[in-house]
Amino acid sequence: MASVELNDIRKNYGTLEVIHGVSLTIEDGEFIALVGPSGCGKSTLLRMIAGLEEITDGEVMIAGKVVNPLTPRERNIAMVFQSYALYPHMTVAENMGFNLKLSGIAKPEIERRVSEAARMLALTDLLDRKPSQLSGGQRQRVAMGRAIVRDPAVFLFDEPLSNLDAKLRVQMRTEIKSLHQKVGTTSIYVTHDQIEAMTLADRIVVLNQGNIEQVGTPLELYRQPANLFVAGFIGSPAMNILDGIVDADNGQPAVRLGDGSAIRIAPQRKVRPGQPVKIGLRPEHFAPTGAGSIVSGRTLLVEPTGAQTHVLFEFAGSHVTAVVDGDHPARHGAHFEAVADGEKVYVFDGSTGVAL
């Protein structure tokens, strides 16, 4: 186990810079999720930490030691790949023991560690099979087994669940989490699925175009997004964003929208009257009744998901999604009305997108 520290990491492909100075400190035993849209540089960053990709500039430190010139093995990291990358010609046991064998560890010791890992991952009955005789979830577990037998300083995961179907993904997510609770190894987990990141990680790093947008616990990111990008990325369904101008409504601070309606905002927001802003309304923060501004419009789409229903309605010239109780009588074409509590309305600067 070890801490990981990134100091102003940069990556160039020729003249194209894809990672622009990323700095990050990961505590010993922490589970960090790297999220961001496709192409933002998550895999590149992870592979630089792994030692699979040259670091153009900056330092990677593992356990307080600069590891830039070291190979993955010398860094003592283990990696789980999206395609699992199991060796097709080796059995499960050989796959898991391969790196121990390469380090010249004695056979009985390899067997002991492989069988221990196999027990932890419920692979004991499959040790003699070849990867082609396993299901997707089992292959995934072997890939994790291969990582844990060697007791590495850091686990790296690159979208390990994206090849699995939805149900198995949820199950493996739980297994990864309980595995981390058992072995407690520092882990860095790349995903573009924000639910996966929210449920697994101690802290989430949101990347966008090679820059860190925000680092924080899942709830911090959800409750206090630093900017529009994070606000729009974290949370499902995504936050509704509306343009407006800061104004007063009966002496209370509010934002006047394009159609003239006013949305109250919390008094502690650092805004000045007349300032162009964007407001963010989380779909799940609309309440049927209570204190706050009324938001209403014609219902465009009703999507029942069981316990909850997603309602898409027209408001202030845009389409707004609300999550309401499954019993809500929303109907296509009918009038929909809900209340937005001013305390839960996010306000962002109109031009920079920074949270106010």
Ligand X SMILES: Nc1ncnc2c1ncn2[C@@H]1O[C@H](COP(=O)(O)OP(=O)(O)OP(=O)(O)O)[C@@H](O)[C@H]1O
Q: Which stretch binds other proteins (CB under 8 A): 87-95, 165-173, 179-187, 243-251?
A: 87-95
Sequence-distant (≥ 6) Cβ neighbours of residue 65 within 8 angstroms: none
Instruction: Look at residues 199, 194, 196, 207 and name the one whose alpha carbon lies nearest to residue 236.
Output: 194
* Options 50, 118, 123, 311; binder of other proteins; rule CB under 8 A: 50
- In angstroms, rounded to a whole number, what is the distance separating the alpha carbons of residues 322 and 328? 11
> What are the φ/ψ torsions at residue 335 (nearest 5 degrees)?
-80, 135
Q: Of all helices (H) and strands (E), which one includes residue 324?
A: strand 318-325
Strand-by-strand arrangement of the 65-66 sheet:
16-26, 4-13, 57-62, 65-66
User: Quick one: what does residue 73 bind among ligand X, Mg ion, other proteins, none, with the CB cut-off 5 to 8 Å set by partner type?
Assistant: other proteins
Site string for ligand X, 170-209 (x = CB under 6 A): ----------------------x-----------------
Positions in 29-58 near ligand X (CB under 6 A): 36, 38-44
Q: How far, CA to CA in Å, does 284 sit from each of 23, 64, 205, 237, 308?
A: 33, 43, 23, 8, 10
**How far is Cα 83 from Cα 85, in angstroms, rounded to an integer?**
5
78 binds, among other proteins, ligand X, Mg ion, none (CB under 5 to 8 A by kind): other proteins
Cβ distance to Mg ion smaller for residue 24 or 126: 24
- Choose the one of other proteins, Mg ion, ligand X, none that binds residue 82, judging by a C-beta under 5 to 8 angstroms depending on kind: other proteins
The least distance separating other proteins from the CB of residue 99, rounded to whole angstroms, comes to 4
What does each C-alpha distance from 323 to 155, 309, 345 come to in angstroms? 37, 6, 15
106 binds other proteins (CB under 8 A): no
Residue 39 near which of Mg ion, other proteins, ligand X, none (CB within 5-8 Å, type-dependent): ligand X
Query: Which one-letter amino acid corresponds to residue 273?
Result: P
Query: Across the beta sheet with 211-216, what order do the strands follow?
Result: 77-80, 154-158, 186-190, 31-35, 203-208, 211-216
- The listed partner (other proteins, Mg ion, ligand X, none) that binds 203, CB under 5 to 8 Å by sort, is none
Interface residue with other proteins, options 46, 60, 98, 172 (CB under 8 A): 98
85 contacts other proteins (rule: CB under 8 A): yes
| 3-state SS, residue 151 | coil
Task: Rule CB under 8 A: choose which of 12, 23, 25, 71 binds other proteins.
Answer: 71
Beta carbon nearer to ligand X, 160 or 297? 160
If one asks whether residue 44 binds Mg ion (CB under 5 A), the answer comes out as no
Residue ranges binding other proteins (CB under 8 A): 47, 50, 52, 71-73, 77-79, 81-83, 85-89, 98-99, 102-103, 146
